[in-house]
Amino acid sequence: MHKNKTLENCMNYRRLKGKAQHAIKYTAREYWQNCCNTLDKSTKLGTAWKMTHKMNGFHREHKIWNLKVNGVAVETNEEKSDIFAKRFSDISSDKNHSSTFLLWKKDIESYYKYLFENLSEIADKNRTESLNEPFDLHEVHRALREIKKTFCSWCRQNIV
């Protein structure tokens, strides 16, 4: 219509626009009737109101709440990560473990000291690089076969 503003194009545009509006109204009415038919005494009132607002085109803007710690809003990602790290540290601390577990942990740490030693940057880099080497397909197949054997033997022992 905008390219050729003839009377015929204008009438055709308005006719098609009317059909589209009619189809939208008809579909909305049908949808609303189906929604009303599903309502019964067990339907929550909030659900009905949400549908009413939705059908009327009323949209509430949802405020995105920030993290609050001790009543103070935390807004930056750096602060959030620091709080997460602190909470994770608190949860993972030794005070949350049983004495049996702590004894076992101490034994493991003393027996495998070399695993917990700080390595030089070069040795650490070499170890990280060797851990990050890509797998070959035959290595993946072998690992899957081994895990399958282990899992199947575990299933035979633990599942009746």
pLDDT at residue 154, as a whole number = 52
Mean pLDDT of 3-8: 80
Pairing verdict, β 67-69 and 72-74: antiparallel
Q: What residues contact residue 39 under an 8 Å CB cut-off, 6+ apart?
A: 48
Q: Using CA atoms, how far apart are residues 28 and 99, in angstroms rounded to an integer?
A: 64
Residue 113 CB neighbours (<10 A): 9
Tokens 């054997």 -> residue: 149
Average pLDDT, the chain: 77
Rg of the chain over Cα atoms, rounded to whole angstroms, equals 33
Residue in 125, 144, 127, 146 with CA at minimum distance from that of residue 135: 144
Q: Could you report the per-residue pLDDT of 82-133, keeping only the tens digit for each? A: 888 888 888 878 887 888 888 888 888 888 777 766 666 656 666 556 656 7
Give the tokens for residue 68.
Answer: 């609050």
HEC readout, 58-120: CCCCCCCCCEEECCEEECCHHHHHHHHHHHHHHHHCHHHCCHHHHHHHHHHHHHCHHHHCCCC
Domain boundaries, the chain: 7-55
